[in-house]
Copies of this chain bind each other. A is one copy, B any other.
């Protein structure tokens, strides 16, 4: 009956207990759905909670129970649709399991990443899903995380880390893209974009090289062209493809962002992607289908990867997972119109 709040202005279990005429313990049991409470008592308590507008303080409960109901998601760049979709998938699966997502973004900076992890870890997440920035220092990260919080590394391998890993089958993806170009008759095929010091780039290059070697073509180092994994930098580096004659007729791109940037760069040079130069991507981001022409690419289903990452990390939290897991998600070729036969 008493609407007076306690000294802090915040409604607590105490207020509900007083209003319902029971002890705090009883209210707590109601909250947690215990069968110990008489059905009438439960109803009375619930009515009071609704009437007062009580909101549960999960932080206090978590502190007492020594549990956590959050998972941190550290992502390098939310403006990359691949990671945005991934984040959406993570959040979806975490929410379904009753966890809340703590978001942190690093902008591809290892220093910011360290700061972000240091800040998130103070909020005591049950686990961390980390899509590492390029050039991450595994040892420094391990120190920032400490020994008590499980980590799932996504997408880029972190050399020397003891953590779970979820990645794409990069090698097979690039292999499929390269084979597609070979089947169309291309023989001078470049690998365009990405930084060779990232594991995903190395793996994709390996798949590309495999496919070429299978048909007796040697990899030409001049056609292994690096760029930042962004549209802009890829567009800017288009010229490197045509530095030497004969130039390639096709490029397997590190990812879709790079492929779209390359297409932009080609158009600026008066070329027609899909008509006089073939391009493949990697990721199948939503705008791949909207490009002109629509981009042939490797689909990785980032949203499903996000759900999968959440599942893996929760399995680790619940302690049901065995030793550090290395999970490689399958990947498939999506043929659209950016590759002409030659």
Query: Does A124 sit at the interface, judged by CB under 8 A?
Result: yes
Decide: A56 and B102 in contact? CB cutoff 8 A.
no
Per-residue interface assignment for chain A, residues 86 to 128, with 1 indicating a CB less than 8 Å from any chain B CB and 0 otherwise:
0110011001001011111101000000001001111110000
Decide: A123 and B286 in contact? CB cutoff 8 A.
no
Decide: B103 and A73 in contact? CB cutoff 8 A.
yes
Decide: A53 and B303 in contact? CB cutoff 8 A.
no
Query: Does A60 sit at the interface, judged by CB under 8 A?
Result: yes
Complex CA gap A232/B260 in Å reads: 21
Would you list which residues of chain A between 48 and 66 have a CB under 8 Å from chain B? 53, 55-60, 62-63, 66
Query: Does A310 sit at the interface, judged by CB under 8 A?
Result: no
Decide: B95 and A116 in contact? CB cutoff 8 A.
yes
Per-residue interface assignment for chain A, residues 142 to 181, with 1 indicating a CB less than 8 Å from any chain B CB and 0 otherwise:
0100111000000000000000000000000000000000
Complex CA gap A124/B57 in Å reads: 7
Query: Does A138 sit at the interface, judged by CB under 8 A?
Result: no
Decide: B123 and A79 in contact? CB cutoff 8 A.
no
The interface-forming segment of A15-23, A185-193, A246-254, A287-295 is A287-295
The residues of B that contact A57 with a CB separation of less than 8 Å are 63, 122, 124
Take A10-B148, A287-B290 as given contacts and tell me if A123 and B59 are in contact as well, using a CB distance cutoff of 8 Å: yes
Take A119-B100, A231-B286, A290-B291 as given contacts and tell me if A147 and B85 are in contact as well, using a CB distance cutoff of 8 Å: no
Decide: B53 and A143 in contact? CB cutoff 8 A.
yes
The residues of B that contact A59 with a CB separation of less than 8 Å are 59, 62-63, 123-124
Query: Does A342 sit at the interface, judged by CB under 8 A?
Result: no
The residues of B that contact A69 with a CB separation of less than 8 Å are 123
Query: Does A28 sit at the interface, judged by CB under 8 A?
Result: no
> Which residue in chain B gives the minimum CB-CB distance to A9?
B148
Q: Within the complex, which residue of B9, B84, B263, B290 is in contact with A79, where a contact is CB–CB below 8 Å?
A: B84
Decide: B100 and A78 in contact? CB cutoff 8 A.
no
Complex CA gap A286/B53 in Å reads: 43
> Which residue in chain B gives the minimum CB-CB distance to A66?
B8
A223 to chain B, nearest CB (A): 25
Query: Does A81 sit at the interface, judged by CB under 8 A?
Result: yes
Complex CA gap A120/B59 in Å reads: 11
A98 to chain B, nearest CB (A): 8
Per-residue interface assignment for chain A, residues 1 to 27, with 1 indicating a CB less than 8 Å from any chain B CB and 0 otherwise:
000000011100000000000000000
A255 to chain B, nearest CB (A): 14
Query: Does A70 sit at the interface, judged by CB under 8 A?
Result: yes
A133 to chain B, nearest CB (A): 14
A104 to chain B, nearest CB (A): 7
The residues of B that contact A81 with a CB separation of less than 8 Å are 79, 81, 84
State the A residues within 8 Å of B (CB).
8-10, 53, 55-60, 62-63, 66, 69-70, 73, 77-79, 81, 84-85, 87-88, 91-92, 95, 98, 100-105, 107, 116, 119-124, 143, 146-148, 231, 260, 263-264, 286-287, 290-292, 303
- 18 A-B residue pairs with Cβ-Cβ distance under 8 Å, sorted by A, are A8-B66, A9-B148, A55-B122, A58-B123, A59-B124, A69-B123, A77-B88, A79-B88, A79-B303, A87-B103, A92-B105, A95-B105, A100-B119, A100-B120, A101-B103, A102-B102, A287-B287, A290-B290
